[in-house]
Amino acid sequence: MDEKKGQPVIVSNTLGERITPSVIQFTEDDEIIVGAEAKEAFEAGESGCASVFKRSMGSNDTYCSFNGKQYTAEDLSAILLRYLKEEAEAVTHQKIDEAVVTVPAYFYHKERQATMNAAKKAGLNIRQIINEPTAAAMNYGVNHWRENARVLVYDLGGGTFDVTLVQMKKNNQMESLQTTGDHTLGGKDWDARLSAEIESKIESETGFYVSEYPEIHQTVIQNAENIKKQLTTRNVANVRLNLPNYGWYSTTISLEEFEQSTTDLIERTGTLCESLLRGLGIGWRDITDILLVGGSTRMRQVSSYLKRISGHTPLAQVNPDEAVALGAAIQVHLPLPEYSVITMAPPKQENTSNSEFFKFKRQELKTASQQAQKYTLPGTVGKETALNNALCMSHVDVVAHAMGVIAVNAEGTHYINKTIVPANQKIPVKCAEAFHYYTSARGDNEVEIYVLQGTKAPLDCEIIGKYVVSGISHDRTDNPTTIKIQYSYDINGMVHVQARQGSGTTDLPIREEAVPADMSKFGRPIDPQEMKPIAEALSVVMAVDVSGSMSGKPIEDARNAMCHFVDNFEDYPGDVEIGVIAVSDSSKVVQPLTSNLHKCKTSIRSITECMTGVCNAGHPFNDIQSMLGSLDGKRLGIVLADGMWENQSLAVSEAKSCHRMGIDITGIGFGSADEKFLRDISSGDIDSMLVDQSELTQSFGKIAQEIGGSNTGKHGRTGAETSVATWLAINEQ
């Protein structure tokens, strides 16, 4: 940046070239050549060359292999960035350790992350990632500012295509309104069509099948770009090839033939442009200018096509190869905007369709436009001016992709993509949501979140990550805890996820895990078993009076009622343990807590009257505390009493100690049992009962139903078995 003039400048490399081609050659003696020399080698058909790797960023697949070494697109980008860094240091005689890096606006999170990784490998810290159309528009705005102008930036590079609508506003602020694109569409696709056209001519005119000669096919591909360049200034380009067993072959390719073979490619760019305008509710007449960026826009087809569909003659005020770099240089010196916040409003009715389910209300915080108020913009509306200093400018960008999560529809039948942050929100931006989560007393409490980019069905979107929220504390009550998730796009268009529990101020741990290779379940109807609720862990101790008054039918009825109670938990959707105590003159643990319900019933059937004495001098509450006191989850003691106990005040005192420990107690009495005593020992969560002996089984069944037996459970899964689908179903309903 020439700060005296407030203008960015291009620094030539050590060869005096203003542009360095993104081509790398690996030689047999392990030398790495970057730039023009590597491109010449590529066009000459030499081995060890790599190009057009930008569109493969974000893939961990091997892009190429040379000299026994494998390289991903990220590795190749790191080599290129390191070369550029070293060249700039050699020319400027300054150490460079920070950079603004430009990327296609339509890059997803993983491509942006790969770009940052490549920069780090190259020894560079990323100050900011900026979208290429945005950078070009900033460079254009420095010299051609028109307040209220709407500029469509049409960026067609070698491997990618982006289109962004930018508005020049008051107070020197430039704002991106919307962006879209295709990161698999670029000049190389035109080259491929040109290669196919040449090979078709060879085969039809000579009978020579190029497909049978890989080296000739490669030569055609490598020469296609030069032929394409010839057609930018000439109507006919010459082709001359030496074919094996044939000799020299010559032909021509006309501009008309070239453009006819690529009509569908240029129309794909037009479709994206018109989609962008429709998304803003405007038409071609509502834009001021079309700015061409990227070397591939030099094709005459681009300008003529855009003029035909828009009525605007594209601008030629910027160098399409240099505009992006110049804009990046401007961004280095500009203030960064602060986060804005969007909030999600719940639906007004349950049957609201998914597309209308969430409404977005924008709350603007302090932005770059407010930071730029101190500057004065020369010029008036409609009059083109030059900014006296590029440092006067500020810019607010937008994100190209909506962010969503995999959720379950309200009916619980299918997985959906629930939008969290819509596309084309100004960045940086945050959005938070809260949902209810039933915690588990045993095992880890974790929530899995699959984050998407895009608006289609889950498997048709970019699944950018699996985020696992851990460290969730167990809520000892029956109520679910609240988990708050905050999603954000930072200034680089990168996704971030944070989580907190309840009113806590500390972030919960979140780990990123690899997205499973098989995600097909999210494209199928949901298995009802998957949504089967998992209840809270449950520990129950039954204490039965075995004094002399229980002899005969009473003890038999008690044993049957207790066994029936245990049967209610055969299919309990969670961890359950049951223990048994016999009490009369003393208390005895007949069965320690066990999850083996068959074993528990065997122990119950072993109980006999008077096994701990004839009278009622004892109580079971100390043993209940010992068995349940250290556990988490739902804890319940059921006390079956017959007749009056001798030391009821002591029993009530120890029962209340259980209450204070969070252990629920319920009393069931029959015969001459004291109803007030039953109420006093009961904690109140489950009412005490004074019943007829014949009603014992129904009484125990009622308790089982109230605490989750008989296949009744809570809505929502808990613990390690929590699925992304289930907790979101809670939120959706």
The pLDDT tens digits of the residues spanning 524-548 come to 998 876 666 556 678 999 999 999 9
For CATH 3.30.420.40, list the domain ranges present in the chain.
1-144
**How many CB atoms lie under 10 A from the CB of residue 527?**
9
Query: What confidence score (pLDDT) does residue 262 get?
Result: 96
CA distance 493 to 523: 27
Query: What confidence score (pLDDT) does residue 532 get?
Result: 61
**How many CB atoms lie under 10 A from the CB of residue 4?**
7
Span 9-36, mean pLDDT? 90
For the segment(s) 342-359+398-530+721-732, the CATH number from 2.160.20.10, 2.60.34.10, 2.60.120.10, 2.60.120.330 is 2.60.34.10
For CATH 3.90.640.10, list the domain ranges present in the chain.
187-263
Instruction: Please answer whether residues 732 and 414 qualify as being in contact, where contact means their C-beta atoms are separated by less than 8 angstroms.
Output: no
Note the pLDDT tens digit of each residue in 620-655.
999 999 999 888 778 899 999 887 888 999 999 999
- With cut-offs at 50, 70 and 90, classify the pLDDT of residue 662: confident
Span 433-448, mean pLDDT? 77
- With cut-offs at 50, 70 and 90, classify the pLDDT of residue 389: low
Query: What confidence score (pLDDT) does residue 307 get?
Result: 96
Query: What confidence score (pLDDT) does residue 625 get?
Result: 95
Write the DSSP string, 572-609.
Answer: -SS-EEEEEEEESSSEEEEEEEES-HHHHHHHHHT--T
**Would you identify the CATH topology of the domain 187-263?**
Actin; Chain A, domain 4 (3.90.640)
Quick check: 612 pLDDT over 90?
yes
- Say what percent of the chain tops pLDDT 70: 85
- With cut-offs at 50, 70 and 90, classify the pLDDT of residue 233: very high
CATH architecture of 1-144: 2-Layer Sandwich (3.30)
Quick check: 346 pLDDT over 50?
no
Note the pLDDT tens digit of each residue in 283-336.
999 999 999 998 899 999 999 999 999 999 998 778 888 888 888 888 887 777
Give every CB contact of residue 692 below 8 A, 6+ residues apart in sequence: 670
In eight-state DSSP terms, residue 207 is: -
Each residue of 10-36: b (16+ CB within 10 Å) or e?
A: eeebeeeeeebbbbbbbeeeeeebbbe
Quick check: 373 pLDDT over 60?
no
Quick check: 133 pLDDT over 70?
yes
Phi, psi of 54 (to 5 degrees): -60, -40
Give Cα separations from 225 to 192, 219, 405 (angstroms): 9, 11, 42
More confident residue, 168 or 442: 168
Span 190-210, mean pLDDT? 91
Query: What confidence score (pLDDT) does residue 533 get?
Result: 56
Rg of the chain on CA atoms, in Å:
37
Mean pLDDT of the chain: 84
Parallel, antiparallel or unpaired: strands 664-670 and 634-642:
parallel
Alpha carbons within 13 A on the beta-carbon side of 134:
36
Query: What confidence score (pLDDT) does residue 366 get?
Result: 31
Quick check: 205 pLDDT over 50?
yes
Angle of helix 73-92 versus helix 109-121 axis, rounded to 10: 50
Query: What confidence score (pLDDT) does residue 651 get?
Result: 94
Note the pLDDT tens digit of each residue in 557-600.
999 999 999 998 887 766 889 999 999 999 999 999 998 999 99
Quick check: 605 pLDDT over 60?
yes
CA torsion sign for 387, 391, 396, 397 is positive
More confident residue, 195 or 396: 195
| 3-state SS string for 476-489 | CCCCCEEEEEEEEE
Quick check: 348 pLDDT over 80?
no
- With cut-offs at 50, 70 and 90, classify the pLDDT of residue 254: very high
Give Cα separations from 338 to 135, 424, 645, 669 (angstroms): 19, 16, 71, 66
CATH architecture of 538-707: 3-Layer(aba) Sandwich (3.40)
For CATH 2.60.34.10, list the domain ranges present in the chain.
342-359+398-530+721-732
Instruction: Please answer whether residues 716 and 437 qualify as being in contact, where contact means their C-beta atoms are separated by less than 8 angstroms.
Output: yes
Phi, psi of 312 (to 5 degrees): -105, 140
